[in-house]
Amino acid sequence: MHQNSLGGQRRNLLATSRESLFLAVFILSPVVGLIAGPSYAPLMFGLAGLSVVLMVAERRTWPRPDAAIGVIALLFLAICGAGLAGSILPAVTKARLPQMAGIAVGSLLLLTLELSPERTRRLIHIMFWMVAAGVAIFGLDTALDYPLQHLLVGPAANIGTKYNRGIISLVLLAWPIAAHLMAMGERGKAQLLGAIVLLAALVGLSSTGQVALVVGFVVWLAALRAFRVTGITLGAGLTGVALSLPLLMRVVSGQRPRLVGLVKWTGIHRLEIWDYMSLRILERPLSGWGLGAAIGVPVRPEELATYTYADGTGIYPHNQWIELWLETGFPGVVLAVVLVLLILTRIRGQWRAYALGALASALAVTMLNFEITTDSWWAALAACALLFRLLPREEAAEG
């Protein structure tokens, strides 16, 4: 009896430690993640690793990751590994392979974490106020010409853009937090949360964050009225665009001179990058050029002669679908599309419009920013999905 009592106390202590760790990380994420966007990776993946250790010690069993997503991850890693043979930058590809594997493992483990309904409600209430606090700090730092960012990163050009990654992640996290608040009958707080995040997006310098918020909002509105049609349209549209993107980029490239003056210089810069990268995709549409090789694909002199901003010196595509085409070829793109469609089939429940809005925001970001090996981006996605999975069972919108 004494041994059983000690064993029970030990398990309770481990369970309490695991849930307390969960609460601490997610409570800090709206502030720390906004101020230092790259911190999402060590925060979330560190939480996943430590929680698994505590769970194994508590239950003497390993967590069971999502089987379907796990298979997709394994197949994608296999494609990336096979691409090493034809990579034009084998050293980069070798370095990116364990990075991609770590992202996959960290994301899968994060999605296995649990939190009791009572503590989940407490977490959401606190996260609401932490979002407000994070945006207040961001606004004050912006108004004072970024003394906090200068303190953190030192002198830097365009220092305000250091908030961009955090703003994008904040847009993603706002969707499940709003869904939870609605589920708890806190409509006023959910609306206030939307206003706070909108203010952050407008004050910040992240065009990607602004586009993600607008796209997500439009899809959310449509889903409230006709969820099934909106979901089918989103899935079909993404599939069509992703699979035909190299050809679409060739069409858009022909219109580039007409867009000068209508689109800000960063947009023209990206169109120039996509121009030569879409041409390289058509040269290796099946095998790709190797994971991480986008920064080293050749640019022809005749192509450079037509560009104003792009100089072909080691820049990533700023479009994850183009990067998938360029680095992993058609098989990698197909797997990514399958993953999105799988997520679409799992979105259900009373608050499903919020999950669809989050997915739309995420897809907008994939078209405009980050590399496929950006760990903080995947950490924010996994955190968003986990919060949706913690919605009350009968109202779950798994993402």
Instruction: Scan for tokens 């405009």, then name that residue.
Output: 368
Q: Give the model's confidence band at 397: pLDDT under 50 very low, under 70 low, under 90 confident, else very high.
A: very low
In this predicted structure, what is the pLDDT of residue 305? 85
Cα–Cα nearest to 167, from 146, 197, 193? 197
Average pLDDT of 321-326? 96
Cα–Cα nearest to 130, from 69, 66, 173? 173
Residue 395 has pLDDT above 50, yes or no: no
Per the CB < 8 A criterion, the answer to whether 73 and 276 are in contact is no
Average pLDDT of 198-214? 95
263 bridge partner residues: 260
Cα–Cα nearest to 347, from 237, 219, 242? 219
Greater confidence, 255 or 39?
Answer: 39
Tens-place pLDDT, residues 210-229 = 999 999 999 999 999 999 99
* Chain-centre distance for alpha carbon 205: 18
Instruction: Scan for tokens 């920013």, then name that residue.
Output: 369
DSSP designation for 349: S
The helix or strand, by DSSP H or E, that contains position 37, with its residue range, turns out to be none
Residue 199 has pLDDT above 60, yes or no: yes
Residue 189 has pLDDT above 60, yes or no: yes
Instruction: Scan for tokens 């034809």, then name that residue.
Output: 86
R_g of the chain computed on alpha carbons: 22
In this predicted structure, what is the pLDDT of residue 10? 56
Greater confidence, 172 or 158?
Answer: 172
Q: State which amino acid sits at residue 100.
A: M
Residue 396 has pLDDT above 80, yes or no: no
Distance CA 226, CA 335 (A): 28
User: Who's near 148: CB < 8 A, 6+ residues apart?
Assistant: 35, 137, 141
- Token pair, residue 127, equals 């996260």
- Token pair, residue 55, equals 């769970």
Q: Looking at 72-86, 149-163, 328-342, which range is the least confident one?
A: 149-163
Q: Give the model's confidence band at 164: pLDDT under 50 very low, under 70 low, under 90 confident, else very high.
A: very high
In this predicted structure, what is the pLDDT of residue 362? 98
Q: Give the model's confidence band at 109: pLDDT under 50 very low, under 70 low, under 90 confident, else very high.
A: very high
Tens-place pLDDT, residues 56-78 = 998 888 999 999 999 999 999 99
Mean pLDDT taken over the chain: 92
In this predicted structure, what is the pLDDT of residue 3? 44
Per the CB < 8 A criterion, the answer to whether 159 and 150 are in contact is yes
16-24 contacts, C-beta under 8 A, 24 or more apart: 17/54, 18/51, 18/54, 18/55, 18/58, 19/115, 19/116, 19/119, 21/47, 21/50, 21/51, 21/54, 22/47, 22/51, 22/113, 22/115, 22/119, 22/123, 23/115, 23/119, 23/122, 23/123, 23/126
Q: What is the percentage of the chain residues whose pLDDT exceeds 90?
A: 79
Tens-place pLDDT, residues 14-61 = 889 999 999 999 999 999 999 998 999 999 999 999 999 999 998 888
Average pLDDT of 290-295? 94
The helix or strand, by DSSP H or E, that contains position 38, with its residue range, turns out to be none
Q: Give the model's confidence band at 399: pLDDT under 50 very low, under 70 low, under 90 confident, else very high.
A: very low
Tens-place pLDDT, residues 330-377 = 999 999 999 999 999 999 999 999 999 999 999 999 999 999 999 999
